[in-house]
Amino acid sequence: MSRPFSQRLLCWFDQHGRKHLPWQNPITPYRVWISEIMLQQTQVETVIPYFERFMQRFPRLPDLASAPIDEVLHHWTGLGYYARARNLHKCAQIIAAEYAGEFPADVEAIAQLPGIGRSTAAAITSIAFEQPTAILDGNVKRVLARHSAIPGWPGQPKVADKLWRIAEGHMPKKRCRDYTQAIMDLGATVCTRTRPKCALCPVAEDCIALAEDNPTAYPGKKPSKDKPVKSAYFLLLQAPNGDILLERRPPSGIWGGLWCLPEVPIEQSLETHLPAYGQIRDTEHWEGWRHTFSHYHLDIQPVLVKLAKRPAGIMEEGRHLWYNVRQPASIGLAAPVKTLLQKLLHPRQANLL
């Protein structure tokens, strides 16, 4: 009889696992938490430089809790899914106030904190506190769905429940940290979404999907829907000294809390909106592009609007600011806005595609 799933995986991890990622040296609850949130829907290679800059600025939880939200969003700019950053900030403030700045070790208490679900809470307790709490992130879902040939999309409750039971059944009582890292590494480096390296897999001998010779059939795909398309003008309203007018987005929703350019729906006439900003010296229509969110496409049409003077009467405290592109403030910018501001400063270097 073959060795248990967890034992085979741990032996593989000892030889092939990733042990030198920034958040692994040193391992603390705070660093594990930050990395787990950043890694949600984001590749390791993308996360590493963001994590390192974040740790330089916010090395401890109290540093994050006391920081202005604008600075937190500034260090998140480009990572996307900005609700993660807002929830990090809220979570840090709750832990500072209710847990004296010490991360709780109880998985159920952690799961109740903003932005932390069941799997992320389990990752924190298993990696940071060596508790036998099974995780079920995207990589683990793929490994387990293939190994046990669980049909269906894991976003469906019945499928997820089956995978949770399997995950908990495989979770060992010892070396919890290494096992959790091992199963994530296996999904990321061997049991990949396309072209899985089954010959290198330590649990291939009893993988049902491999026996069926169809591992990529699992897990089932999310039912597809055509994404709607929205279109908008992005107005680069430029004062005579070169400053650009920015607006803060509402706290929730797309780009919540970030600073953006004023938008005008493409179906509306610019001529009816521009007079609100006073006398216009000139306008330039730049090449547009498509920015894709998880649930819709946004076709962006940038327009540089050169103003004769700064308009009076439109500035609302806390909601508007004049942004100096040559001495940029440390604020959170939506990624397309950052791209456009860079194009304004370096017209030949910016790549909008």
pLDDT tens for the 353 residues of the chain, in order:
479 999 999 999 999 999 999 999 999 999 999 999 999 989 999 999 999 999 999 999 999 999 999 999 999 998 988 999 999 999 999 999 999 999 999 999 999 999 999 999 999 999 999 999 999 999 999 999 999 999 999 999 999 999 999 999 999 999 999 999 999 999 999 999 999 999 999 999 999 999 999 999 999 998 888 889 999 999 999 999 999 999 999 888 888 889 999 999 999 888 888 888 888 999 999 999 999 988 899 999 999 999 999 887 666 667 889 999 888 888 999 989 999 999 988 765 544 43
- For residue 198, count CB atoms less than 10 angstroms from its CB and return exposed for 0-12, middle for 13-18, buried for 19 or more: middle
pTM over 0.85: no
pLDDT of 253:
83
The question of whether 36 is a catalytic residue gets the answer yes
Domain boundaries along the sequence of the chain: 5-217, 229-345
pLDDT of 315:
64
Fold designation for 5-217: Endonuclease III; domain 1 (1.10.340)
- CA-closest candidate to residue 287, choices 306, 275, 304: 304
Return phi, psi of residue 219, to 5°: -70, 165
Give the ranges where 233-323 is alpha helix by DSSP (H). Answer: 270-273
Write down the catalytic residue from 36, 205, 271, 317.
36
Q: CATH classification of 229-345, choosing from 3.40.50.150, 3.90.79.10, 3.90.1150.10, 3.90.600.10?
A: 3.90.79.10
Give the ranges where 3-82 is alpha helix by DSSP (H). Answer: 5-16, 29-38, 44-57, 61-66, 69-76
What is the distance, to the nearest Å, from the Cα of residue 103 to the centroid of all Cα atoms in its chain?
A: 21
305 vs 301: CA distance, rounded Å: 13
- CA-closest candidate to residue 5, choices 212, 203, 290: 203
pLDDT of 1:
46
- CA-closest candidate to residue 118, choices 69, 161, 65, 177: 161
Question: Can you tell me which residue has the tokens 């595609």?
Answer: 353
270 vs 11: CA distance, rounded Å: 64
Q: What are the beta bridge partners of residue 292?
A: 297
Could you tell me the two tokens for 266? 């493409």
In angstroms, how far apart are the furthest CA atoms of the chain? 82
pLDDT of 316:
63
